[in-house]
Amino acid sequence: EVQLVESGGGLVQPGRSLRLSCAASGFNFDDYAMHWVRQIPGKGLEWVSGISWNSGGIGYADSVKGRFTISRDNAKNSLYLQMNSLRTEDTALYYCAKGTRYMWNDGSFDPWGQGTLVTVSS
């Protein structure tokens, strides 16, 4: 069974940093792109970032470009999101999702983890 478990969320002050992790199991992690998607509670979905199977391709939403960095460690079956210069508008539930293709800018997302909540507030 494919499992994605996010961790690292919490309360952080504006301007500070946070690193999210996603532990994957149940599939060949290095065969698929991975993504981060966020959702403000009660609101819609926003794609944050994606990374190709071998880290050779990466994409970011305009809203986080230059502040967030996605990475992966295929040896550890893990995905990460380093979030710097956090803003109040970054407050959301952050989901890790498995891509259905090996390139980040292709396919769909299936499945998704349960999410980790990031709250940016002073």
Partner 1 sequence: QSVLTQPPSASGTPGQRVTISCSGGSSNIGSNTVNWYQQFPGTAPRLLIYNNNQRPSGVPDRFFGSKSGTSASLAISGLLSEDEADYYCAAWDDSLNASYVFGTGTKVTVL
Q: Does 16 bind partner 1 (CB under 8 A)?
A: no
Q: Which CB atom, from 42 or from 75, has the smaller least distance to partner 1?
A: 42
Taking CB under 8 A as the binding criterion, the range among 19-27, 39-47, 68-76, 79-87 that sits at the site for partner 1 is: 39-47
Of 113 and 120, the one with the shorter C-beta distance to partner 1 is: 113
**Closest among 1, 17, 8 to 96, alpha carbons compared:** 8
CB atoms within 10 A of CB 22: 25
CB of 74 to partner 1, least distance (A): 22
Ranges of beta strands (E only) in 2-121 are 3-7, 10-12, 18-25, 34-39, 45-51, 58-60, 68-73, 78-83, 92-99, 109-112, 116-120
Is residue 30 within the footprint of partner 1 (CB under 8 A)?
A: no
Distance CA 66, CA 112 (A): 25
Nearer to partner 1 by Cβ, of 60 and 80: the residue is 60
Size of the site for partner 1 (CB under 8 A): 26
Which of 117, 121, 122 lies closest to 42 in space, CA to CA? 117
Residues of span 68-107 touching partner 1 by CB under 8 A? 95, 100, 105-107
Where do contacts with partner 1 occur on this chain (CB under 8 A)? 35, 37, 44-47, 50, 59-63, 65, 95, 100, 105-115
